[in-house]
Amino acid sequence: MFRSVSRVPVRHLRPLLGRQIRFAATASKEEAAKKASFGLLSFLRLPNVQRVIRMGRIVVVTIMVYQVGYQNGMVHFAQDPAQVEDEMMKMSLGIPANDNIKDHIHNENSPLHKHVSKIGNRLIGVAREHCDNQLKNTKAMIQTVRSGGEIKNPNQEPINLNQLLELEAMWARAVKRLEGKWTIVLSRSPEINAFVSGVSPRKIFVYEGLIRKLDLSEDELAMILGHELSHVILGHTEEQVPVTAIILGTQLVMMSLVDPLGLGSFIFDQFVSQMGKYMTASYSRAHEHDADELGLLLTSMACFDIAAGALVHDKLDHASGHRETQLTDTHPSSMERKIILAELARAHETDRLTNPAYSQFQRDCIRKKEDWTASLLALSGLDKATKLRTASKTEKKPE
């Protein structure tokens, strides 16, 4: 016997079927989300992905630390500029933070400081004049090119407008850097050193040991000060800061990619550190050669004897023990620089002798020296007759 089954109307099954379909769809979505989440977590757990995340985290933290330090420095400077300036000078000279900086530098009224300042001020004035003239000449060349003319470099190659605009920007920055009051900071340190620093602008640092131990003449000291000023004009002090920051940042990123434990990590750390030194040193040596060439020109324009001034590297070479240039040296060897400077000095003097304006240059030098002598004597309180007698005895007549 078969039991008859009453049929259920379709309208009663529709709600049940709808709930089952919705439940199945929701379950499939949750399962898909779980799979996606599991896949993402699995991807993030991959060793290479972990290294990239670690590297990015270090970069972000480094940038944040830099920004916090920069903001704190600006606030500190706004509250007490004089104290910040002293702290920067101490940092530049390597003076302990708790020491009084006046105990480590010469007073401006000391005879040695006056001697160095006299030469430094001559070079600063000439550097400003040179940069102003170069800026004016560059603007004139830009006007010529825009008018349809042509400008060529010493190799007789045409210079385009973009190159001239870059040159104009460079000289404009140089003029800006030389503005304001400049100071010679004469350290009492017995070390042989002189430098300019990006953290202490408008200052030339000279160590007493450089002058005393090498027994520098005015021409030799002028060559060194002209070299340091050239670093400022060429923007080397500003360029060195971001280059060093990039190299250090690269070292941090590279170190984040290796396991901090084990001998391999130690070897890799030493390798990255040495590569950073090689890159920085090579970059710095190129700067030194550029500053030597421009410094020679400034020294000549300030009416010093550049042939005699170039001999300062003989003394520096002797003081360094005739040391040759090493890969990690930030400066070329003194002997290498002496050879290059001697060649540049000879070429410069030859160009002068063959230039019809040489006699005018001599007359300008004599006039400048008379003005400098008069200004110096005026500071000493001497009368006009004494000034004239002193100037006539110390200067040569043009040939």
pLDDT, tens digit (0-9, with 9 covering 90-100), for 298-347: 998 888 888 888 888 888 888 877 666 655 566 677 778 888 888 888 77
203 SS3 class: strand
Phi, psi of 200 (to 5 degrees): -130, 80
For residue 186, the surrounding DSSP H or E stretch is: strand 183-187
Q: Specify which of 262-266, 273-277, 389-393 reaches the highest per-range mean pLDDT.
A: 273-277
- Give the pLDDT score at 243: 65
User: Taking phi first (over 0 means left), then psi (-120 to 50 degrees means alpha), and beta for anything else, what does residue 381 get?
Assistant: left
Per-residue confidence at 389, pLDDT binned at 50, 70, 90? very low
The model's confidence at residue 388, banded by pLDDT at 50, 70 and 90, is very low
pLDDT confidence tier of residue 199, bands split at 50, 70 and 90: confident
Alpha helices in the chain (DSSP H): 10-44, 47-79, 81-93, 111-146, 161-177, 208-214, 218-233, 236-256, 263-301, 306-309, 312-319, 334-354, 358-379, 384-394
pTM above 0.85, yes or no: no
Q: What is the mean pLDDT of residues 132-159?
A: 89
SS3 for 179? coil
Please check the confidence at residue 149 and state whether its pLDDT lies above 80.
yes
Q: Sheet of 183-187: strands edge to edge?
A: 183-187, 200-207, 194-197
- Cα dihedral: 163, 165, 170, 176 (round 10): 170
Percent of the chain having pLDDT more than 70? 60
Confidence check: pLDDT of 225 > 90: yes
pLDDT of residue 322: 64
Task: Give dist(CA 18, CA 15) in Å, integer.
Answer: 5
pLDDT, residue 397, reads 37
Per-residue model confidence (pLDDT) at position 5: 47
Mean pLDDT: which of 182-191, 193-202, 380-389 is highest? 182-191
- Contact, 199 vs 119, CB < 8 A? no
Q: Rounded to whole angstroms, how far apart are CA atoms 276 and 327? A: 11
The total of other beta-carbon atoms located within 10 Å of residue 87's CB is 18
CA distances 163 to 152, 158, 166, 168, 175, Å, are 11, 10, 5, 9, 19
d(CA 265, CA 244): 23
The secondary structure element, H or E, covering residue 206 is strand 200-207
Residue 299 half-sphere exposure toward CB, CA atoms < 13 A:
30
Task: Give the C-alpha separation, 399 to 397, whole Å.
Answer: 6
For 40-82, the pLDDT digits (tens) are 566 566 666 676 776 677 777 777 877 787 777 777 767 778 8
* Average pLDDT of the residues in 373-377: 52
CA 365 and chain centroid, separation:
32
Q: Of 94-108, 208-222, 271-285, where does mean pLDDT reach its minimum? A: 271-285
pLDDT of 211 above 90: yes
What token pair was written down for 197? 């620093």
Residue 171: its pLDDT value, please? 95
- 88-142: per-residue pLDDT in tens? 888 888 889 889 999 999 999 999 999 999 999 999 999 999 999 999 999 999 9
Looking at the predicted structure, is the pLDDT value of residue 2 above 60? no
How far is residue 97 from each of residues 94, 101, 169, 393, measured CA to CA in Å?
A: 9, 9, 38, 48
Query: Helix 47-79 crosses helix 10-44 at what angle (to 10 degrees)?
Result: 70
* Residue 45 CB-density burial (10 A; 0-12 exposed, 13-18 middle, 19+ buried): exposed
Residue 81 is predicted with a pLDDT of: 80
191 vs 236, residue with greater confidence: 191
Predicted confidence at residue 141, as pLDDT, reads 92
